[in-house]
Amino acid sequence: MADDTLTAGLHLLTDLYLGGKAVPAADGARFPVIDPATGEVIASVADGGISDAIAAVDAAERAAASWAATSPRSRAEILRTAFELTVERASELARLISLENGKSRGDALAEVAYAAEFFRWYSEEAVRGTGMVTTAPGGTNRILVQHRPVGICVLVTPWNFPAAMATRKIGPALAAGCTMILKPASDTPLTALAIAQILEAAGVPEGVVGVLPSRRSGPVVSAMLHDPRVRKLSFTGSTEVGRALLREAADQVVNTSMELGGNAPFLVFADADLDAAIDGAMVAKMRNAGEACTAANRFYVESPIAGEFGRRLAKRMAELRVGPPAAEDTEVGPLVNRDAVDKVDDLVRGAVAEGATVLTGGGRPAGAGFYYEPTVLADVRPGAAILTEEIFGPVAPIVTFDGEEEAIRLANSTEYGLAAYVYTGDLARGLRVSERIESGMVAINRGLVSDPAAPFGGVKQSGLGREGGHEGLLDYMEEQYVAVQW
């Protein structure tokens, strides 16, 4: 089924994409995709089941040997073309992202640029395979180590960056010479299907990338993880689902990469440049309306400046234009669905009931759609649920601290360890604090950490493995050691 009315120019795919073809689910099932700005259905998408998942693995298997045998240069050139086509189609892709995810046009365009960069970066990395030859300590033989594609990959992605979370996995997997099946989030399958079309146009052979939208995620992913041909699972999503998938992957000892939830602290020391800290806070909190795993979730501000920081942040948050994602001047769109708004609202109400002060926002605006007001809360009780859970919405809770030791203790008081932000005028302090923060990524005097050229990932219960950088390529490769005598 194709519907050209939703996006100008982009031929909309709403079936499964298997073996290079659009096909309906074997049992004919479909599910609706909802526009979060209106709550209305925008498309009906094929709902892949277990037999479709096995067919997807069949297609990936048929393509595996020849794809692994292509030269790194030809894989690089296909990825480069995918980068160029993504940039060329940025406007239509951004429109699709806003439609099904609800993010503002500005955020959607930024996401497409970020997503495209993974194709460019991995087109450059594809020809930088590394290995090693050395002499065994006893001098009897050589030790040869080379990297080989890990094999058929299952890629599972969330709804919050429907394009970038897909390309962050597809880019390195293609560069490494793997074939793959992408299972996108059921809130946002249309963007993933559009990316499949771009990859096809870029020259990716049939069967190398399959896209399997499904509302039956549990059984479908489980079936693939129990198929012995599947050798890799790369998952981005919540820690809760990640834990369950690690257990499933254990049955066949499938290689796993896990990009899970976050609870980023944003520390502001009294010696920080306050203008820069407020600018950084706006980016760290409000990129994607707070629906980012790296979003600043807890603001810890040193006592002497806490009052001024709160007032200034509240003023900036109150000035944001909330509205329909497609409108040119909208800065904050709706959240992804009703459950997301209910969760944010519950967390805010809970914090207020425990004594937090609302500096701005604090509720849902009137009217249709899944909107929430940009909100700043001060005097939040340490230990409140809003500080321990991922908010995933436009709410900034502020807690005060005194001194470095307390800041570090508060920052580390979570089972998560994905991103952290530190604002200080003293670089030595910034680096000293970074070394003691239990987090895979730290931004010093900067509100944005994500960069396709850098290893992105978490420690503690935020995940395993890294995406982006050279490390991201190695996540799709396995080392083989050959002992050789010549």
Tell me if 237 contacts ligand NAD by CB under 6 A.
Answer: yes
Tell me if 241 contacts ligand NAD by CB under 6 A.
Answer: yes
119 φ, ψ to 5°?
-70, -40
Among residues 199, 293, 359, 387, which is the contact residue for ligand NAD, using CB under 6 A? 293
Q: Single out the segment in contact with ligand NAD by CB under 6 A; choices: 28-36, 122-130, 159-167, 473-481.
A: 159-167
Size, binding site for ligand NAD by CB under 6 A = 28
Q: Single out the segment in contact with ligand NAD by CB under 6 A; choices: 6-14, 76-84, 87-95, 230-238.
A: 230-238
Q: Single out the segment in contact with ligand NAD by CB under 6 A; choices: 52-60, 180-188, 361-369, 405-413.
A: 180-188
Q: Single out the segment in contact with ligand NAD by CB under 6 A; choices: 100-108, 152-160, 324-332, 470-478.
A: 152-160
Q: Single out the segment in contact with ligand NAD by CB under 6 A; choices: 258-266, 353-361, 367-375, 478-486.
A: 258-266
Tell me if 107 contacts ligand NAD by CB under 6 A.
Answer: no
Find the DSSP H helices in 322-373. Answer: 338-353
* Listed residue (432, 399, 426) closest to 267, CA to CA: 399
Tell me if 159 contacts ligand NAD by CB under 6 A.
Answer: yes
Q: Clarify whether 293 is annotated catalytic.
A: yes
Contacts for 163 with CB less than 8 Å, ≥ 6 apart: 93, 97, 111, 112, 115, 191, 195
CA 244 to chain centre: 19
Q: State the minimum distance, in angstroms, from the CB of residue 224 to ligand NAD.
A: 9
Tell me if 461 contacts ligand NAD by CB under 6 A.
Answer: no
Residue nearest to ligand NAD (CB): 237
d(C-alpha 292, C-alpha 341), whole Å: 15
User: Is the Cβ–Cβ distance between 84 and 57 less than 8 Å?
Assistant: no
Beta strands 180-183 and 152-156, pairing class: parallel
Q: Specify the DSSP class assigned to residue 154.
A: E
Among residues 70, 146, 238, 388, which is the contact residue for ligand NAD, using CB under 6 A? 238
Q: Single out the segment in contact with ligand NAD by CB under 6 A; choices: 135-143, 204-212, 253-261, 268-276.
A: 253-261
> Judged by CB, which is closer to ligand NAD: 200, or 259?
259
Among residues 98, 104, 123, 157, which is the contact residue for ligand NAD, using CB under 6 A? 157
Q: State the minimum distance, in angstroms, from the CB of residue 355 to ligand NAD.
A: 27
Among residues 156, 199, 384, 386, which is the contact residue for ligand NAD, using CB under 6 A? 156
The dihedral over CA atoms of 301, 303, 304, 306, expressed in degrees to the nearest 10, equals: 50
**Which residue in 117, 259, 373, 467 is the catalytic one?**
259
> Judged by CB, which is closer to ligand NAD: 235, or 401?
235
> Judged by CB, which is closer to ligand NAD: 236, or 330?
236
| Subset of residues 210 to 229 that bind ligand NAD, contact rule: CB under 6 A | 217-218, 221
d(C-alpha 109, C-alpha 93), whole Å: 8
d(C-alpha 37, C-alpha 180), whole Å: 33
Give me the sign of the Cα torsion angle 307, 309, 310, 315.
positive
Residue 482, judged by CB atoms within 10 A of its CB (0-12, 13-18, 19+), counts as: exposed
Tell me if 38 contacts ligand NAD by CB under 6 A.
Answer: no
**Residue reference for tokens 């759609």:** 369
Tell me if 418 contacts ligand NAD by CB under 6 A.
Answer: yes
Largest CA distance in the chain: 77
Tell me if 186 contacts ligand NAD by CB under 6 A.
Answer: yes
Which tokens in the block code for residue 201? 């146009």
Q: State the minimum distance, in angstroms, from the CB of residue 299 to ligand NAD.
A: 18
d(C-alpha 39, C-alpha 34), whole Å: 6
**Which residue in 293, 331, 373, 390 is the catalytic one?**
293
H or E element, residue 404? helix 403-411
Q: State the minimum distance, in angstroms, from the CB of residue 407 to ligand NAD.
A: 23
> Judged by CB, which is closer to ligand NAD: 229, or 343?
343
Measure Cα distances from 225 to 6, 94, 248, 251, 422 in Å.
35, 32, 7, 8, 39
> Judged by CB, which is closer to ligand NAD: 323, or 472?
472
* Listed residue (362, 433, 436, 365) closest to 397, CA to CA: 362
User: Is the Cβ–Cβ distance between 318 and 361 less than 8 Å?
Assistant: yes
d(C-alpha 171, C-alpha 167), whole Å: 5
Q: State the minimum distance, in angstroms, from the CB of residue 480 to ligand NAD.
A: 29
- Burial pattern 294-331, b for ≥16 Cβ within 10 A else e, equals bbbbbbbbbeebbeebbebbbebbeebebbbbbeeebb
Q: Single out the segment in contact with ligand NAD by CB under 6 A; choices: 31-39, 48-56, 79-87, 232-240.
A: 232-240
Tell me if 419 contacts ligand NAD by CB under 6 A.
Answer: no
Which tokens in the block code for residue 472? 């991201």
Q: Specify the DSSP class assigned to residue 211.
A: E
> Judged by CB, which is closer to ligand NAD: 245, or 344?
245
H or E element, residue 297? strand 296-302
> Judged by CB, which is closer to ligand NAD: 159, or 372?
159
> Judged by CB, which is closer to ligand NAD: 262, or 280?
262
Q: Return the active site residues.
A: 259, 293
- Which residues contact ligand NAD by CB under 6 A? 156-161, 165, 183, 185-186, 217-218, 221, 236-238, 241, 244-245, 259-262, 293, 390, 418, 458, 463
